[in-house]
Amino acid sequence: MIFSTDFLLSLIIVAIIVGISAELMEIQETRMNERFRETYTRAKGATATDVLINTPGDPVNWEKLPVGTCRYPGLAVP
């Protein structure tokens, strides 16, 4: 026989260990991607809120202009 039973059994065990390791790495990568996406979304939301609250808008009378002509709205009193 070319392959002994011990060799085939050890090959199967190694394949199972490699498969489980790959699955665990995939799970960890998915968790990291979700955390990154959540952090990125929160940072963008905080930045947008800061711009809205701390600036008067561009141009200053943005609420009186037609839709689409202002660059960004703001709530601060100039």
Q: Residue 18 — very low, low, confident or very high, per pLDDT cuts 50/70/90?
A: very high
CB-based contacts of 52, cutoff 8 Å, min separation 6: 73, 74, 75
Q: Residue 1 — very low, low, confident or very high, per pLDDT cuts 50/70/90?
A: low
Cβ(77)–Cβ(56) below 8 Å: yes
Cβ(36)–Cβ(55) below 8 Å: no
Q: Residue 23 — very low, low, confident or very high, per pLDDT cuts 50/70/90?
A: very high
Number of neighbouring beta carbons within 10 Å of residue 30: 10
The answer, as to whether pTM is greater than 0.85, is no
